[in-house]
Amino acid sequence: MKEVRGQVGSEAADEVRGQARSHQDGSYNPQQIAQYYDSNTARFLSLGGSGDVAAIHRAIWAPGVTTQAQAFGFLNQLVANALQPALPEETGAARVLDLGCGVGGTATLVAQTLDVHVTGVTLSPAQVQLAQQRAEALGLASRVNFALGSFSAMPELPASHGAYAIESFVHADDAAGFFTMAAKHLLPGARLVLCDDFLNPRHTAEAKACVARFRRGWHLNTLLSEEDTCALAQSAGFRLVEVQDLSAHLRGFHPLLLWAVSTLTRVPLPWAYWHNLAGGTALQRCVKKGWTRYLALIWERV
Ligand SMILES: C[S@@+](CC[C@H](N)C(=O)[O-])C[C@H]1O[C@@H](n2cnc3c(N)ncnc32)[C@H](O)[C@@H]1O
């Protein structure tokens, strides 16, 4: 489903900034997030099912998708398609930022699909190494590079023609600051794409424990509604172009397996993958109940 939603004013954005802070019940620092990804990345790649796509994100089983590779590649293609209209025609001139790049699966696909230079940033040293190896193996090292660091503390860079963040915005410790940073690094007309989980503002009291479990397990700092996120983006200088709700195309565990893993992972064991399983099963329940939604949001820098 594709749609363009209305935008709210900047007074609303001020209110949202306050709410964004109060949504941060469990706040994870960059070291904790880096540790989470350093410990989990090998398992995400070997058990996650994305294979050569090297995705550390959700598989999207949209109509027409029939293989695991297509399902895990869906968001990569969505990002490439969304960025494309804003790129300059001049050969070799386009620059794109991958804000929370994982092991470079999206950056390399984007560089293979579009005539762009991609700079990816991740908090995880293990991921930077794997991402660089991937770019070299695919012969893309001259156009794709990766840096260890936070998108909250980006170095001075020439302004870019596009940026995207797949499942990394939820880790941002300052949601408003994320959009201010993106606006600073993007040229007018550039596209910004976010694919992530968003809170349904109409979620019930029953949802609270489940949402909290998801946030804890996956080390989230920011779980906002679509409306609150759009208010922050607008206030930082972005015009909403498109919203795609992909929730219906997510697949979860068989209900019996979901119940078993969900129950087992209530035992608080200190393993990083255990936390991921606990958060992931809570998230599956949140999506099923409609308490959270998985969206792709596309903006243009004004
Ligand atoms: C769920 S993974 C997604 C990785 C990748 N986008 C993909 O789709 O395969 C989240 C990523 O966000 C990165 N991340 C989280 N917070 C970050 C921050 N403040 N700065 C840079 N990267 C961050 C993590 O290091 C990790 O690479």
Angle between helices 272-289 and 255-264 (to 10 degrees): 130
Q: Are strands 238-245 and 94-99 parallel, antiparallel or unpaired?
A: unpaired
Asked if residue 123 has its Cβ within 6 Å of ligand 1, the reply is: yes
pLDDT score of 58 more than 50? yes
Nearest-angstrom CA–CA distance, 53 and 69: 6
Asked if residue 35 has its Cβ within 6 Å of ligand 1, the reply is: no
The rounded Å distance from CA 175 to ligand 1 centre is 14
Backbone angles phi, psi at 247, to 5 degrees: -55, -40
Q: Atom 27 in ligand 1: which residue has the minimum CA distance? A: 102
The rounded Å distance from CA 256 to ligand 1 centre is 31
pLDDT score of 4 more than 90? no
What does the pLDDT read at residue 270?
86
Q: What is the pLDDT of residues 172-196, one digit of tens each?
A: 999 999 999 999 999 999 999 999 9
What secondary structure letter does DSSP report for 295?
E
* Cβ atoms of residues 181 and 152 within 8 Å: yes
Helices (H), 52-174: 68-83, 105-113, 125-137
Label residue 17 by pLDDT band (50, 70, 90). Answer: very low
What average pLDDT does this structure show over 68-93?
A: 97
Of all residues in the chain, what percent carry a pLDDT higher than 90? 84
What does the pLDDT read at residue 26?
53
The token pair at 114 is 């579009």
What average pLDDT does this structure show over 1-18?
A: 41
Q: What is the pLDDT of residues 21-30, one digit of tens each?
A: 444 445 999 9
Nearest-angstrom CA–CA distance, 272 and 61: 27
Angle between helices 105-113 and 125-137 (to 10 degrees): 30
Asked if residue 167 has its Cβ within 6 Å of ligand 1, the reply is: yes
Q: Which residue has the higher pLDDT, 139 or 275?
A: 139
pLDDT score of 2 more than 50? no
Nearest-angstrom CA–CA distance, 158 and 95: 9
Q: For each of the domains in the chain, give its residue range(s) and CATH number, in order of start.
A: 2-301 (3.40.50.150)
Q: Which of 168, 181, 273 to mutate to test the pocket of ligand 1 (most atoms within 8 A of CB)?
A: 168
Contacts of 206 (CB under 8 A, 6+ apart): none
